Amino acid sequence: MNELQFFVAASAIFFAIGVYGLLSKRNAVRILFSVEIIINAASLNIAAFARYMPYNLGNAQSIAIFVIALAAAEAAAGLALIIEAFRLRGSVDVEEMDELKG
Amino acid sequence: MTRLDYLLAIAILAFTSLMALLALESKSLVYGAVSLSGFFLGLSLFFFELGLLYLGVFQLLVYVGAVSVLILFAVMVIGHTPRKPTVGRFGGLGFLGGLFIALAAVFAGLAMLFSFLDLAVDTILQSLIYIGPVVVLLAFAVLFRGEPRGRSSYRFEAFGVLGAFLIFGSFLGALSYLGSLSVFSGDVTFSMADVAQSLLGQYGLLMVVLGLLLASAAFGAVALAKKEKEEK
């Protein structure tokens, strides 16, 4: 087992935990947590490949920084949406948000 | 990496995965949010362990600083919703499940340590060894959860565990392929100038687009959150 495998395995574990939360939780905030965990797993993956297969370390870190910034934007918009949904219905249970159901 | 580095990395991995599980499984959302910031912290430790200092500091600033506080504030606004028990709630035997998860993280770390000491045979087998306990004990945690058995919570949990299994399984092939590569494991040297050059040079346009996106996300968030107040 080489070092790259260790970090990729770690990011795979985080990704799997995130998928578990995404599929099993009904609270919208927890689902947002899961998405954050998944995005962080992805940025760890990028960082690991950048470190152990250095082509251009500056570029790789820039891409990871873009991922972090995108995730921050997603968190801000997602939380605002969740707060709005909570105001409208007094609950953040995604099973109850079925107005768009055909 | 020396053996001590490996031990440190395994400790960070155990801490980070425990925090990730706690973020999803803890009783109250506030504890969950705090655990999530612990997860972000663990990830920044990973970046430091990789030697990518700039990324680690950025992660600390953006995630552990800004995003955690944002999430905490949002959780506080939403508050406790006691009408219906959420799926991720410890109680009675469910706490035992949480304990199992904590133990699983430790076992996973130990199994990984053994695999680094070259006791295991095959990469896929190794991966199964250290993810196996986590997934099995996660299933235990689900079974022993002190939840009312109504509605479809168990079905959801089962889907979750199955999904996590499948996703990790799909990673195993890639992991075993990576084992055959020769990786660059010497010290990396980089300067801030490299990062700055690529951020403002090659990815300059992307940077501008990202700035616009962040600004629009901020405006959108404010607009969404403000709407109700104006209507009153």
Q: B54-107 pLDDT, tens per residue?
A: 889 999 999 999 999 999 988 888 876 554 444 444 444 555 566 666 666 666
Helix (H, G, I), strand (E, B) or coil at B145: coil
Helix (H, G, I), strand (E, B) or coil at B80: coil
> Pick from B180, B178, B145, B149: which is nearest to B161 by CA?
B145
User: For residue A14, which residues of chain B lie inside 8 Å, CB to CB?
Assistant: 16-17, 20, 43
Tokens 């896929």 belong to residue: B124
Name the token pair of B222: 């404010």
Contacts of B220 (CB under 8 A, 6+ apart): A77, A80
Q: What total of structural domains would you count in chain A? A: 1
Partners of residue A93 on adjacent β-strands = A27
- Residues B166-180: pLDDT tens digits? 777 777 777 777 777
Per the domain annotation, does A89 fall within a domain?
yes
Q: Which domain holds residue A77?
A: 3-96
Residue A12's CATH number:
1.10.287.3510
Return the DSSP state at B87.
S
Q: Which residue has the higher pLDDT, B71 or A53?
A: B71
Per the domain annotation, does A52 fall within a domain?
yes
Per the domain annotation, does A58 fall within a domain?
yes
Quote the mean pLDDT of chain B.
75
Per the domain annotation, does A56 fall within a domain?
yes
For chain B, give every domain's residue range. Answer: 1-83, 85-185
Per the domain annotation, does A101 fall within a domain?
no
CA of residue B218 relative to chain centroid, distance: 24
Name the token pair of B219: 């405006």
Q: Provide the whole-model pTM.
A: 0.78
| A97: closest CA of chain B, how far (Å) | 15
Backbone conformation region of residue A2, classed left if phi is above 0, alpha if psi is from -120 to 50, else beta: beta
- When CB atoms are compared, the residue of A1, A32, A87 closest to B115 is A1
Per the domain annotation, does A102 fall within a domain?
no
Interface contact A21-B83, CB threshold 8 A: no
Mutation for A interface: B12, B53, B61, B190, most A CBs within 10 A? B190
